[in-house]
Structure 1
Amino acid sequence: MKFARRDLRGSLKGFRIFLACLVLGVAAIAGVGTLSSSITEGLRANGQVILGGDIDIRLTHRAVDDEEHGWIRDQGRTSEVQTLRAMVRDLASDRRTLSELKAVDNAYPLFGSLTMKTDSGAENPEARLEKKDGRYGALIEQGLSDRLEIPLGGQIRIGELDFEVRGIIQSEPDKASQGMALGPRTIISSVALRETGLIQPGSLIRYHYRIALNSGRTVADFYEEASAAFPDAGWRIRDASNGAPGIKRFVERVALFLTLVGLTALVVGGVGVGNAVRAYLEGKISTIATLKCLGASSSFIFRVHYLQVLILAIGGSLIGLILGVGGSVFAAQFLASTLPVPPEINITIGPLLLATAYGLLTATLFTIWPLARARETPAAALFRDIVSAHKRPRPFYLATLGLCFAVLVALAILTSRETWFAFVFVISIVCIFAILILVGHGVQFAARCVPRSSIPSLRLAIANLHRPGAATNSVILSMGLGLTLFVTVALIEGNLTRQVQEQLPEKAPAFFFIDIQSNQLDDFVATAEAVSDVSEVNHVPNMRGRITQVAGVPSEQVTVAPEAKWALRGDRGITYAATPPEGAMIVAGSWWPEDYAGPPLVSMDREIAEGMGLVLGDTLTVNVMGREIEAEIANFREIDWTTMAINFVLVFDTHSLQGAPHSHLATARADGEGENQLFTAITNKFANISVIRMKEALQTVSRILEQLSSAVSAISSITLVTGVLVLAGAFAAGHRKRVYDAVILKVLGATRKDIFITFLLEYALLGLITSVIAAATGWFAAYMVITDILEAKWINLPFTIIATILISVLVTLLFGLLGSWRALGEKVAPVLRSD
């Protein structure tokens, strides 16, 4: 420790890149862990406000019956809310748009507060929504006011009833629990909803019953008694501990991805750590050799320098922790306005310990090799370090390397909630890392084998790729991994965006129509087909159901593949049909006869069925409007979701569901002016039918993809920044050799220009090789994701590949020449005397 401390008092110049790489990786992991736990804590602490109560009971299509209603009211204070989609029309301009409609009672909200901008008077919802002067009141979001240019006091029509706009919603306490919105919010009273004519048999309405439990009652008690009292009610029950499960899942997955990217940056930085240690040891070669000659043991040399690295790693990790926590606090303040509730700053020890462990393990992993080689190399060989071959570390150190690597991988996988995703990510990074190491050795081997060029500068540049101490492996590793991730993300983002912007609109219908009543269907079809430039009016029965059992096992106990989990979350759209849906591809089993009237049968999407481990003949139990229907799987279908046509995961035989109350879903294609004519004709004639314009929906998806890809690209850039730091460190580590090479070449008659051209060619070759390998690896990874995982059509994006190659070559040239500039100006005599 005394020798290590004395050495560190000299200078930390050789460890600047070491510290930068370590600080960046640890800060990213610590910041992400702290921020995600703060957001999760904010969601948990405000669970009652987000959910709207201690308990939320949800039913689709139907309200509770009198017995159920009485039991619910006995549990505590209650509030009843209905949500659905409806068209809102401005009576002044006749403009209309789709809105997310919420009907509330006088007790709403049980927790939190609904704030609004009003002209004057009372702010409570009850007073604003009640009937005055023959009209009920409505509260609308700013987005709806802007879209239809409706001012306060404006008149709107919903269904068959007119409303007066009496407030602009500024804060809706339970908005986060309502799921994805296809339009801006409108709030009316439950009494007014009953007069709009929107409540029809089979209408897609969700009934929510929020409960503030009586004193002394617990959530566990409620679940137990509800299950005993109404086992077949078909209720979907959530409690305040998970008020916004979608947001919570999103935060957890983003946190996982960010943590893994931070770990990747740390591993890439580990290459810089190894370079820094190697460069530091090269500056200490004479000192180490002298100490060995004076009797210092090899283990003493190893302990001294490992202690130095450990002290610096601890210091770098502490700096990273401070920056990470500070960054998470700043990010929490920035995100407060975009989240349903502000994050509760929660600095827990877990994420900080994990980040520190990652930092120390990475430093150890990449330090042991150069230290162990220096330990095993005799003093005489150290004096001839540039040309001498180093000994391989002894088995103990190799075993330690393996142990560090195993612990690092285990931490990344076992501390993750999404174990499979973490496993695939880590394995992918390890494979890319291994490929880049093999490529580095392959480039050096190829450089040795290529014929000697007649051009001196090119011959020297190629020789520099495989000479002792060459930076080839370090450059390919550091830049290659960052560039590979960057290319992969860029190509996936580019493909998805092009799919949405260019291909889907050509195939997609112009509109989706929902809540078409059975007695309206014929009139609706006739009205739509009467509009010029309208074609392919398709319609199917539509209702909602929830999968409760898979092959006889309760759905919450079934082990399901990640890609199929969404099918078990909440209610799913279901339909029935006598004949196979248009364009359906039956890949297993057979369709039932048109006049089938036996036990329930169901057709299922093949991918979802495989994810649930189902085979033909297994059963699936679905709760439809409180009725449990157990159906045998008759066939599997291949569904092409990219057509944007009407597709359902579950299609039942006609006999099983035809008698259930339901509405219909329809699509229609329209060209040119036919779109506006169709929209006007349907919304004028059918007040209850909601119209979703596909162009607007696709634009929303495109915007989300662009925002998501920008965020992911920015996150992946952390790895690229670390790679650039490591690249700078790699060239800095070879500075001593560059100086020596330049001096020898000058002695042999080379001019400064000749040396400059040699270095220029070497760095250009390194950048070109690295970028080509990264581009090829990234292209392959993106191609597999798009074609195999997302099952979409691949679109080549040559500009992304070319831009990557050019950027890589330019960055490598820049850092290489900056690192070598001083070497070009060194005087010959002082260098020769010092060596």
Structure 2
Amino acid sequence: MTLALRFARRDLRGNLKGFRIFLACLILGVAAIAGVGTLSSSITAGLRANGQVILGGDIDIRLTHRGAVEDERRWVEEQGRVSEIQTLRAMVRDLSSDRRTLSELKAIDNAYPLFGMLTLASETGTENPDALLQQKNGLYGVLIEKSLSDRLELPINGQVRIGELNFEVRGIILSEPDKASQGMALGPRTIISSAALNETGLVQPGSLIRYHYRIALAPGKTVAGFYEDAKAAFPDTGWRIRDASNGAPGIKRFVDRVALFLTLVGLTALVVGGVGVGNAVRAYLEGKITTIATLKCLGASSSFIFRVHYLQVLILAVAGSLIGLLLGVGGSVVAAQFLASTLPVPPEITIKAGPLLLATAYGLLTATLFTIWPLARARETPAAALFRDVVSSHRRPRSKYLVTLAACFATLVALAILTSQETWFAAVFTISIIGIFSVLILVGYGVQFIARRLPRSRIPSLRLAIANLYRPGAATNSIILSMGLGLTLFVTVALIEGNLTRQVQEQLPEKAPAFFFIDIQSNQLNDFVSTAESVIDVSEINHVPNMRGRITKVAGVPADQVTVAPEARWALRGDRGITYAATPPEGAVVVAGSWWPEDYAGPPLVSMDREIALGMGLEIGDSLTVNVMGREIEAKIANLREIDWTTMAINFVLVFDSHSLQGAPHSHLATARADGDAENKLFSAITNKFANVSVIRMKEALQTVSRILEQLSSAVSAISSITLVTGVLVLAGAFAAGHRKRVYDAVILKVLGATRKDIFATFLLEYALLGLVTSVIAAATGWFAAYMVITDILEAKWISLPFTIVATILISVLVTLLFGLLGSWRALGTKVAPALRSD
């Protein structure tokens, strides 16, 4: 090994020209994985370090519909300093212009915030929220976000109406410390005092209000001890408790999932780069044929030859991985600076060994996986065959090398799946990539098989171009693999994004109601319906009872101990909307069990969405326990429904029989369709008459979703482009690896009388055929993958996007032609005599 290392080190001196693509592919893949891992851990560290600020306390207790009763409140105050806030949605109306919009309303007490600072811009220059919100000259103060100020053109000292109370704008919210813990917002933030909220008339029985009790634990008390004490003191109160270790679970989940996706894309780019690694090693060995043969004739063993060249590859792989790690860490630092303004707290740059070791392991395993085959084949080739430069005479590697290949592949797959938090997603992604890779390998061999059996064309350039597809050392497989995988991912992402965007922009608006109305009180319902019906061109006014509940037990097992399929986990996170009904909801189809009689008055029954029930392993007759306003209701599953969520109609995962919940305080949810000018008339009629009713315009909501989809699509496309860039690098490497053969072909053809134009036409046809085959296969595979995601996973209607397919085919052909001709241009200009003398 020492002698092999000495030979490897000497051979690498000034001999790295053939390994530039090798290094570029490894550096790009390792940098992507290391950068994503470091950035993800930095964001997580920032969230964890500022958990108290993001959550608003050491502990957050949340109740829906109701506040804490006296004994609950007394116990909470014994735990430390307490701040109580209420959050709900309400309409904000500018009194000067009569413009109005939906807002996320927060009512705070004088202890808010316990941690962090509410940054404001006010006329007096003070940032004390309590002083700004107090009643002065008969008006309470209100703080609004800048986006709300811009939307309603509201200046400081302007007046607005919220519910049944007028307010004076006293400040503009520049930053809100606990905003990230509040979840998705449908409108800009508005902050008032708790005392003012009680006078707005918005607090009604069953109103959708969330009560938060933030606690700064007293000295000597711990989070773990708090959980134990709370469970012992109030085991069935229906509290939802979070602590500062996970202040923004939504952001944490999003960061983890994006990091997982980006890591897998980086690994895909690395595997695509592995094709380039194999090409570089093969080309390097072809240039070392004479040296290898000479060493064998001088007594060097085949094992020694293998060790020398594997050590060279390993040295370069380590160097490339180290460069990739440096670039990845540097890139994550730069990215963290850009993301600092968009995250609730800036990332804390932390360089952890885990992500870096994982990226290095991926790099070294990929390099080994794709170099063993050409090295092992060269090892088995006799010296005489090497002297004769008969490439096709290379023998199949020995079984021990095949076992090593299998072990490397298995380790790579195991690392990708077992090191991820979402093993199911990682497994599906990895299996999909392996499937696409296998298909592309089979396509490569299939192209060669078909080309070998095609009838010989009478056109010399076409006949030579087809022959070049299957000649010894042909780059057909390398080109199809390098371009095919990147193009497949690109087409898949483009088609999924295009379908979702078209659904949101074109399909859903046709089905969606014009408005959703929230917090309609039971005593207002008849008047609400009459008011809506009085507006011309308003139709399809539907309304249902609406309350919130949290699933606490599944078939008698606590919800946090149940194994649930990934697609159903969201139903167990926090509160869910629930309703009751005597008849099946509109647009829902009962697919199992039967609906209860309209006059049913027995033990609680529940109807459930079929997909969620299957994800939880539930069947007809199983029990489901839901906490509604602190009361545990155990209901038997009577039937399962198939719900078409794309209709945008009022649908609930859980529908109880009317007898079980009818006595609980609740509000109502309603929808209505409106054509043309009727939208504005209906909006004005409802908001003028019912100050407590919140109105959601579906057009605005769908536009928000569309913008999010476009941003997400751009981000995913950019990341997928890493794979495409790696594919282009590999493509360039494949042509560079075949340069020696191109020169030889060009020289022989010239000797036989071919002109440069003839040779150029031959190469042009060959590259066009390769580009066309690759793009067609990538387009078909990407189309199939996108179709399965849209129709099977998302259960949406498929929309054909032929332009995307055509554009992919044209781009692939042009890129292949460009790199192919650039790689062959030098071969076309090679002089015959010097080339023949050198050979």
Kindly state the Cα deviation for residue 383 of structure 1 after the two structures are TM-superposed: 2.3
How far is the alpha carbon of 1:388 from its aligned partner?
3.4
Aligned to 2:754: 750
Code of the residue aligned with 2:608 in structure 1: it is: M
Of 542, 546, 564, the match for 2:546: 542
| Mapped contact 1:177–1:244 kept (Cα < 8 A) | yes
Tell me if 1:795 matches 2:799.
yes
1:401 to 402, 405, 416: 405
Equivalent residue, structure 2, for 1:358: 362
1:525 to 2:529 alignment: yes
1:249 paired residue among 229, 246, 253: 253
Q: Take 1:683 and 1:324, find their aligned partners in 2: how far apart are those partners?
A: 53
Aligned length: 835
Q: Does the 8 A contact of 1:58 with 1:209 survive in 2? A: yes
Q: Distance in 2 between matches of 1:211 and 1:118?
A: 28
Cα deviation per residue 1:423-457 (whole Å; 9 max; x = unaligned)?
11111111111111111000000000010001000
1:26 is aligned with what amino acid? V
Q: Give the structure 1 partner of residue 714 of structure 2.
A: 710
1:499-518 alignment, distance < 5 Å: 499-518=503-522
Q: Which residue of 2 aligns with 1:116?
A: 120
Deviation at 1:484, TM superposition (A): 0.5
The answer on whether the counterparts of 1:83 and 1:100 sit within 8 Å (CA) in structure 2 is yes
CA distance in 2, matches of 1:710, 1:617: 46
The answer to whether 1:57 aligns with 2:57 is no
1:212 equivalent in alignment to 2:183: no
* Alpha-carbon distance, 1:396 to partner: 0.6
1: CA distance, partners of 2:817 / 2:231 = 69
Does residue 595 (structure 1) correspond to residue 581 (structure 2)? The answer is: no
**Mapped contact 1:386–1:469 kept (Cα < 8 A):** no
In the alignment, structure 1 residue 556 sits paired with structure 2 residue 563 = no
1:707-757 CA-to-partner distances (Å, cap 9, x unmatched) read: 000100000000000000000000000000000000000000000000000
Whole-angstrom CA distance in 2 between matches of 1:342 and 1:718:
26
Following superposition, the deviation at residue 389 of structure 1 comes to 2.1
Match of 1:726 among 718, 726, 730: 730
Name the aligned partner's letter for residue 91 of structure 2: M
| Counterpart amino acid of residue 535 in structure 1 | S
Separation (CA, whole Å) in 2 of partners of 1:441 and 1:292:
32
The separation in 2 between residues aligned to 1:663 and 1:47, in whole angstroms, is: 34
* 1:775-832 CA distance string (max 9 Å, x none): 0000000000000000000000000000000000000000000000000010111111
The code of the aligned residue for 1:605 comes to D
Residue number in structure 1 paired with 2:344: 340
Structure 2 match to 1:349: 353
Q: Does 1:422 align with 2:426?
A: yes
Are positions 1:657 and 2:661 aligned together?
yes
Q: Could you say which residue in structure 2 is the equivalent of 1:330?
A: 334
* Structure 1 residue 386 displacement after superposition: 4.2
d(CA) in 1 for partners of 2:757 and 2:297? 42
Contact (CA 8 Å) 1:59, 1:235: kept in 2 or not? yes
| Cα distance per residue 1:239-279 (max 9 Å; x no partner) | 00000000000000000000000000000000000000001
**What is the CA–CA distance in structure 2 between the aligned matches of 1:683 and 1:515, rounded to whole Å?**
12
Residue 301 of structure 1 deviates from its aligned partner by 0.7
Find the aligned partners of 1:288 and 1:732 in 2 and give their Cα distance: 21
Q: Note the 1:89-100 alignment, pairs <5 A.
A: 89-100=93-104
* 3-state SS, counterpart of residue 300 of structure 2: coil
How far apart are residue 385 of structure 1 and its match?
3.0
Which residue of structure 2 aligns with residue 627 of structure 1? 631
Name the SS for the 2:392 alignment partner: coil
Residue type of the partner of 1:495?
A: N
Is 2:169 the counterpart of 1:165?
A: yes
Matched, 1:785 2:789: yes
1:68 pairs with 2:63: no
Aligned to 2:496: 492
Q: Which residue of 2 aligns with 1:682?
A: 686
State how far apart, in whole Å, the 1-side matches of 2:427 and 2:587 are.
37
Letter in 2 for 1:111: F
Equivalent position SS for 2:13: helix
The 1:385/1:196 distance shift into structure 2, 3 A limit, reads same
- 1:286-337 deviations in whole A, cap 9, x for unaligned? 1111111111111111111111100000000000000000000000011000
Distance 1:558 1:310 in 2: 46
Which of 573, 590, 594 is the matching residue for 1:569? Answer: 573
Name the residue aligned to 1:449: 453
1:30 to 28, 34, 45: 34
Q: Distance in 1 between matches of 2:389 and 2:813?
A: 30
TM-score, length-normalised on structure 2? 0.99
User: Which residue, 173, 194, 206 being the options, matches 2:198?
Assistant: 194
Match of 1:287 among 275, 285, 291: 291
1:763-778 correspondence to structure 2 within 5 Å: 763-778=767-782
Matched with 1:469 is 473
Give the aligned partner of residue 278 of structure 1. 282
Distance 2:555 2:273 in 1: 49
> In the alignment, is residue 694 of structure 1 matched against residue 698 of structure 2?
yes
Q: Do 1:50 and 1:173's aligned partners in 2 also have CA atoms closer than 8 Å?
A: yes
Structure 1 segment 426-445 matched on structure 2, within 5 A = 426-445=430-449
SS in 2 for 1:123: coil
Q: Distance in 2 between matches of 1:232 and 1:503?
A: 44
Deviation per CA, 1:99-123: give whole Å up to 9, x if none. 0000000000000000011112421
Question: What is the match of residue 817 of structure 2?
Answer: 813
Preserved contact between residue 619 and residue 631 of structure 1 (Cα < 8 Å): yes
**Quick one: percent identity of the two aligned structures?**
87
> What's the counterpart of residue 106 of structure 1?
110
Deviation at 1:612, TM superposition (A): 0.4
- Partner secondary structure for residue 137 of structure 1: strand
Query: Among residues 300, 303, 308, which one is paired with 1:304 in the alignment?
Result: 308
Partner of 1:643: 647
1:387 to partner: Cα distance: 5.1
Aligned: 1:263 with 2:267:
yes
- TM-score, structure 1 as length reference: 1.00
What is the CA–CA distance in structure 1 between the aligned matches of 2:614 and 2:350, rounded to whole Å? 40
Which residue identity does 2:646 align to in structure 1? T
Shift of 1:382: 1.3
Distance in 1, matches of 2:583 and 2:328, equals 59
* 3-state secondary structure, aligned to 1:233: coil
Counterpart of 1:534, as a letter, is V
Kept in 2, the 8 Å contact 1:381–1:388? The answer is: no
| Gap runs ≥5 in structure 1 | none
Q: Which position in structure 1 is the counterpart of 2:229?
A: 225
* Code of the aligned partner of 1:320: G
Residue of 85, 90, 110 corresponding to 1:86: 90
Paired position in structure 1 for 2:15 = 11
Q: What is the distance in 2 between the residues matched to 1:379 and 1:734? A: 23
How much has 1:11 moved relative to structure 2? 2.0
Three-state SS of the structure 2 residue aligned to 1:388 is helix
What code does the residue aligned with 1:441 have? Y
Partner Cα distance (1:685, 1:104) in 2: 27
- Residue 784 of structure 2 aligns with an amino acid whose one-letter code is F
- SS of 2:280's partner is helix
**Deviations, residues 650-694 of structure 1 (Å, cap 9, x unaligned):** 000000000000000000000000000000000000000000000
Amino acid at match of 2:336: A
Aligned residue number for residue 136 of structure 1: 140
List per-residue Cα deviations over 1:9-68 (Å, max 9, x = no partner): 032110000000000000000000000000000000000000000000000000010000
CA distance in 2, matches of 1:124, 1:28: 45
Distance 1:86 1:341 in 2: 28
Indicate whether 1:390 and 2:394 are aligned: yes
Instruction: Provide the C-alpha distance between the structure 2 equivalents of 1:385 and 1:706, rounded to a whole number of angstroms.
Output: 54
Deviates more, 1:765-774 or 1:384-393: 384-393
